[in-house]
A and B are shown apart, each in its own frame.
Chain A
């Protein structure tokens, strides 16, 4: 079964890009409101609280941050397994998600 990945991205075009990229990498992209996700792609500027992340289960899924800010200027959630700065190549996204599932 395809892994379900929640995309938290405020920019419509970037969201569309990420959804398409995830699809090409063999994942299923889901939007906010979907239950039971395996990982989260998060723009840390897009304020998603821990409570919101918890809605997807007792354990908060691994988070891959995709940010326009360098990590020292951003408050990434503790579940972050990879922090990428935009713009990202699909190969980087692929590597980061693999790491998320390997962890």
Chain B
């Protein structure tokens, strides 16, 4: 599309040239004045339309003068009234088209203003954004994207997936990266989020793509190096702390063991103190182990020792383990088994998950409530659900329950101890088993955690 200024220049030139040419023609072929009026009209309109109201008046006057001259030197004599009426009509026409031009120019100005605002809006972000058509060709992109494209050395031509694939060699995992990009190119209707690291630079980017209308697609690119660095620092810090805790914990736990052997030498009070110290020590130990476990799971360093397992047994075991705590709070605790299929799982890890879910349920259920472990099937899959009548988790917090260190406000408000690691561990372990875990809860009414695992073939 021609720019506004260039178009205006072009239109004005055409209008002036047209007026001059028509007049010359009128003189040359001795046109009648009537015909002359008709012939001059479009040029007047064009001149007026494009130059605005002043241009319109001037155009009308110019046409009028030309026409008067043409009439005067023309062969046909003209009636004065007719001459005046035609003159007024020409000037009015010029003015009208000028008015129309003024309006259209104002609209165009507004449109340009809006476009400028929109482009400064899409430029005013740290994210690179590009819109592609249904072939993946670039329709529009913002400034940060162009800067990132330059930094990443993206080619300047081709479709977006092609350009992205072209820089595969620069990534830390070129094969996985290219494979992902090819998948994206093949599934234009899918939304997806991917992260990739540029080898040697430590720069990490997150790409987000989603379809809009008519096969078009938005791609955004954001540098997340700083976020990943923070994650790394947090992980390193947590690892260091949990490792450093082990040395003093060894002394505490070891000498406590010695003291427990000398228990007979202590009075009742002393024995009670020892018990408290043992409980606290075990809790610290469990915390340290949990921190290590979750770090290992996230680094994919845990290997599962898979074997056929009866889910009902797993449930019974967890029930047995939680029995003392449940009895103490007069909580009804039981297993309901409905022909669960055999699952292929790591017995130790799965027991850990179910123990955790059941002990959570008991922990968060007030005195006199109930906790049920139901095992059965859901289609082909095996299903284990732990349901309680506990304090629940508020709805707006539910999507965070599987995040590390997350603790529900209902728990912290009541000062119920915990680390916020249990469900994160369960989630990671179940995912590694190829299963899924769901959390449903109503504040003040209870919670249900449902684990589904693929049945053993």
Please measure, in the bound complex, the distance between the C-alpha atom of A85 and the C-alpha atom of B251, giving whole angstroms. Answer: 13
Establish whether residues A68 and B246, one from each chain, have CB atoms under 8 Å apart when the complex forms.
Answer: yes
Nearest CB of B to A60, in Å:
25
Establish whether residues A86 and B301, one from each chain, have CB atoms under 8 Å apart when the complex forms.
Answer: no
Nearest CB of A to B250, in Å:
4
Q: Which residues of A contact B249 (CB under 8 A)?
A: 86-87
Establish whether residues B243 and A17, one from each chain, have CB atoms under 8 Å apart when the complex forms.
Answer: no
A-facing residues in B229-251 (Cβ within 8 Å): 243-244, 246-251
Nearest CB of B to A25, in Å:
12
Establish whether residues B243 and A69, one from each chain, have CB atoms under 8 Å apart when the complex forms.
Answer: yes
Q: Does B292 contact A (CB under 8 A)?
A: yes
Establish whether residues B257 and A68, one from each chain, have CB atoms under 8 Å apart when the complex forms.
Answer: no
Please measure, in the bound complex, the distance between the C-alpha atom of A85 and the C-alpha atom of B285, giving whole angstroms. Answer: 11
Please name the residue on chain A nearest to B252 by beta carbon: A87
Establish whether residues A72 and B301, one from each chain, have CB atoms under 8 Å apart when the complex forms.
Answer: yes
Establish whether residues A14 and B251, one from each chain, have CB atoms under 8 Å apart when the complex forms.
Answer: yes
Establish whether residues B301 and A87, one from each chain, have CB atoms under 8 Å apart when the complex forms.
Answer: no
Please name the residue on chain B nearest to A17 by beta carbon: B254
Establish whether residues B246 and A85, one from each chain, have CB atoms under 8 Å apart when the complex forms.
Answer: yes
Establish whether residues A14 and B247, one from each chain, have CB atoms under 8 Å apart when the complex forms.
Answer: yes
Please measure, in the bound complex, the distance between the C-alpha atom of A98 and the C-alpha atom of B3, giving whole angstroms. Answer: 89
Nearest CB of B to A30, in Å:
19
Residue-by-residue, is B283-304 near A (CB-CB < 8 Å gives 1, otherwise 0)? 0010000001000100001000
Q: How large is the interface on B (under 10, 10 to 19, 20 to 34, 35 or more residues)?
A: 10 to 19
Q: Which residues of B contact A80 (CB under 8 A)?
A: none
Q: Which residues of B contact A66 (CB under 8 A)?
A: 250
Establish whether residues A14 and B301, one from each chain, have CB atoms under 8 Å apart when the complex forms.
Answer: no
Q: Which residues of A contact B85 (CB under 8 A)?
A: none
Establish whether residues A17 and B250, one from each chain, have CB atoms under 8 Å apart when the complex forms.
Answer: yes
Establish whether residues B257 and A89, one from each chain, have CB atoms under 8 Å apart when the complex forms.
Answer: yes
Q: Does A11 contact B (CB under 8 A)?
A: yes
**A87-B253, A87-B285 as given contacts; A68 in contact with B258, CB under 8 Å:** no
Q: How large is the interface on A (under 10, 10 to 19, 20 to 34, 35 or more residues)?
A: 10 to 19
**A20-B258, A87-B285, A90-B257 as given contacts; A68 in contact with B244, CB under 8 Å:** yes
Q: Does A35 contact B (CB under 8 A)?
A: no
Establish whether residues B247 and A86, one from each chain, have CB atoms under 8 Å apart when the complex forms.
Answer: yes
Q: Does B255 contact A (CB under 8 A)?
A: yes
Nearest CB of A to B423, in Å:
22
Q: Which residues of B contact A85 (CB under 8 A)?
A: 246, 292
Considering residues B247, B250, B252, B301, which has the most beta carbons from chain A within 10 angstroms of its beta carbon?
B250
Q: Which residues of B contact A69 (CB under 8 A)?
A: 243
Nearest CB of B to A75, in Å:
15
Nearest CB of A to B296, in Å:
7
Q: Does A57 contact B (CB under 8 A)?
A: no
Establish whether residues B250 and A86, one from each chain, have CB atoms under 8 Å apart when the complex forms.
Answer: yes
Considering residues A18, A68, A85, A90, which has the most beta carbons from chain B within 10 angstroms of its beta carbon?
A68
Establish whether residues B301 and A17, one from each chain, have CB atoms under 8 Å apart when the complex forms.
Answer: no
Q: Which residues of B contact A20 (CB under 8 A)?
A: 258
Nearest CB of A to B243, in Å:
5
Q: Which residues of B contact A90 (CB under 8 A)?
A: 254, 257
Nearest CB of A to B244, in Å:
7
Considering residues A20, A66, A72, A86, which has the most beta carbons from chain B within 10 angstroms of its beta carbon?
A86
Considering residues B254, B257, B258, which has the most beta carbons from chain A within 10 angstroms of its beta carbon?
B254
Nearest CB of A to B259, in Å:
12
Establish whether residues A88 and B301, one from each chain, have CB atoms under 8 Å apart when the complex forms.
Answer: no
Please measure, in the bound complex, the distance between the C-alpha atom of A13 and the C-alpha atom of B247, giving whole angstroms. Answer: 9
Establish whether residues B244 and A88, one from each chain, have CB atoms under 8 Å apart when the complex forms.
Answer: no
Establish whether residues B251 and A11, one from each chain, have CB atoms under 8 Å apart when the complex forms.
Answer: yes
Q: Which residues of B contact A18 (CB under 8 A)?
A: 254
Please name the residue on chain A nearest to B299 by beta carbon: A72
Please measure, in the bound complex, the distance between the C-alpha atom of A17 and the C-alpha atom of B246, giving whole angstroms. Answer: 14
Nearest CB of A to B305, in Å:
16
B-facing residues in A61-103 (Cβ within 8 Å): 66, 68-70, 72, 85-90
**A11-B247, A14-B247, A72-B301 as given contacts; A87 in contact with B254, CB under 8 Å:** yes
9 closest A-B pairs by CB: A68-B246, A17-B254, A87-B253, A13-B251, A87-B250, A86-B250, A86-B246, A68-B243, A87-B249
Which residues of B are at the interface with A, using a C-beta cutoff of 8 A? 243-244, 246-255, 257-258, 285, 292, 296, 301
Known: A70-B296, A88-B250. 16 other contacts (CB 8 A): A11-B250, A13-B248, A14-B251, A17-B250, A17-B254, A21-B254, A66-B250, A68-B243, A72-B301, A85-B292, A86-B250, A87-B250, A87-B253, A87-B254, A89-B257, A90-B257
21 A-B pairs (CB sep. < 8 Å): A13-B248, A14-B247, A14-B251, A14-B254, A17-B250, A17-B251, A20-B258, A21-B254, A69-B243, A70-B292, A70-B296, A86-B249, A87-B246, A87-B249, A87-B250, A87-B252, A87-B253, A88-B250, A89-B253, A90-B254, A90-B257
